[in-house]
Amino acid sequence: MLLLVAGCAKSTESGIEVPADVPTLEFLKGLNPGPAIEEPAKLGRRCADADIGNGTLRILVFGLPSGGGGPPIDEETGYPEVRVAGCIVSSDFVVVVGAYNSAMREHFRAQ
């Protein structure tokens, strides 16, 4: 299992180690394809909470670009959309990104 909060990484029994200076977004990009992750929803939320604490507000997207003009912006929050992967992603990656985005949207609604 790999636990990561932006700026803080721990290696576990898998022997995977992520340097503490790897930003959350770079870590998420590296997940796909990546090692199996236990508790992917908790990981996504931890990454989002860390980013919110640092003032980094964004929605993560993957798949084909929408093709709209201008910078991609999330319609619900107005946060920038950041493409973190193409079309081929693991089910764990989908859960991590979904939990991350849910936490970002909860933060937006709470403001």
Q: Structural domain tally of the chain?
A: 1
- pLDDT greater than 90 at residue 100: yes
Which pLDDT value is given to residue 35? 53
C-alpha–C-alpha distance, residues 50 and 29, integer Å: 16
**13, part of any domain:** no
Please give the helix or strand (H or E) that residue 78 lies within, else none: none
Range from 24-33, 36-45, 54-63 carrying the lowest mean pLDDT: 24-33
Domain membership flag for residue 3: no
56 within domain boundaries: yes
Q: Is residue 49 part of a domain?
A: yes
- Integer CA distances (angstroms), 15 to 10, 18, 45, in order: 10, 10, 23
Identify the residue whose tokens are 């670009």: 65
Please tell me whether the overall predicted TM-score, pTM, comes out greater than 0.75 for this model: no
Residues 6+ apart with CB under 8 A from 19: 9
How high is the pLDDT of residue 32? Answer: 54
Q: Classify residue 12: in a domain, yes or no.
A: no
Mean predicted confidence (pLDDT) in 32-38 = 52
Domain containing residue 42: 22-110
> Residue 63: inside a domain, yes or no?
yes
Is residue 40 over pLDDT 90? no
What mean pLDDT comes out for the span 69-97?
A: 89
Within-domain flag for 93: yes
